[in-house]
Amino acid sequence: MLVEAGPPKQSKGGDGGLGCISQSPDILCSRHLVQQLCGCGLLGVGIWLSVSQGNFATFSPSFPSLSAANLVIAIGTIIMVTGFLGCLGAIKENKCLLLSFFVVLLIILLAELILLILFFVYMDKVSENAKKDLKEGLLLYNTENNVGLKNAWNIIQAEMRCCGVTDYTDWYPVLGENTVPDRCCMENSQGCGRNSTTPLWKTGCYDKVKIWFDDNKHVLGTVGMCILVMQILGMAFSMTLCQHIHRTGKKYAA
């Protein structure tokens, strides 16, 4: 007596694995949709800074393009482009786009690691050159077309309660003997920087920024680790989906 065999049953474990893989395009796309929105937001802020403040926070005369506006625009563009590649590759299930997304993330990750290693290896040299370059940048404080730099120094000196790069005397070759910006005064008022008897912030802004980084290194480290984990997860999701597309493509071709 022959018994008709029914369709083979798949194990629950296999269904669960396929379910997770089949959901990976939605996970990847939703993740990178948020990434694209963040990139668009940063790009908009960078363009606004560039238009309204000019070369905002261009402290270094050696690198005039290294301004806060340009950095925000560059970071926003990179985030937006990588998010677009990941989301479009997930929706279209296109291996070429997913591999491009993986390669871009890998290059960014390697660049971050290389820059971090070089920074710690040459920390003293970087610090000395940064101080020297910032002092040379003070000469642009009252020049035309550098309103952004002037505003940036005023904001930093007021918020960080500091004056100059290493100390308040850094302003003397720029503004004149015993003359500093008004924001260097402990009690800010119009023309207070020209009064030699006015109490001034004695600590330089470079040391203040270093202290701020030391005080917030745990927070900065946590943020850095979160970014690293997000990059690795994005790479893992893209490769998982790429392998899934490759396997199903072979199955359909057979």
Report the mean per-residue pLDDT for the chain: 74
Q: What is the pLDDT of residue 52?
A: 59
Q: Are residues 137 and 185 in the same domain?
A: yes
**Phi, psi of 63, deg, nearest 5:** -130, 75
Position 230 in a domain = no
Position 177 in a domain = yes
Position 4 in a domain = no
Q: What is the pLDDT of residue 6?
A: 44
Q: Tell me, what CATH number does 198's domain have?
A: 1.10.1450.10
CA–CA dist 40, 34 (Å, integer)? 10
Joined together, the tokens standing for residue 202 give 């004695």
Joined together, the tokens standing for residue 56 give 């905002």
The last residue of a domain, from among 98, 121, 144: 121
DSSP 3-state percent helix, strand, coil across the chain (nearest 5):
75, 0, 25
Number of domains in the chain: 2
Q: Are residues 93 and 135 in the same domain?
A: no
Q: Are residues 103 and 28 in the same domain?
A: yes
Q: Are residues 190 and 147 in the same domain?
A: yes
Q: Are residues 63 and 152 in the same domain?
A: no
Position 136 in a domain = yes
Position 142 in a domain = yes
Q: What is the pLDDT of residue 47?
A: 65
Domain span at residue 133 reads 127-208
Q: What is the pLDDT of residue 86?
A: 74
Instruction: From first to last of the 254 residues of the chain, give the pLDDT tens digit.
Output: 444 444 444 434 444 443 444 445 555 565 556 665 666 666 666 666 666 555 555 555 555 556 666 777 777 777 777 777 777 777 777 788 888 888 888 888 898 889 888 888 888 888 888 888 888 888 888 877 677 778 888 888 988 999 999 999 999 988 888 889 988 998 888 888 887 677 889 899 999 988 988 888 888 888 888 888 888 887 888 788 878 777 776 443 33
Q: Are residues 34 and 102 in the same domain?
A: yes
Joined together, the tokens standing for residue 37 give 């929105």
Position 223 in a domain = no
Q: Which helix (H) or strand (E) holds 231?
A: helix 217-253
The last residue of a domain, from among 121, 153, 187: 121
Position 59 in a domain = yes
Position 13 in a domain = no
- Reported as a single tens digit per residue, the pLDDT across 9-60 is 443 444 444 344 444 555 556 555 666 566 666 666 666 666 655 555 555 5
Answer yes or no: are the C-beta atoms of 23 and 93 closer than 8 Å.
no
Answer yes or no: are the C-beta atoms of 190 and 178 closer than 8 Å.
no
Q: Are residues 59 and 101 in the same domain?
A: yes
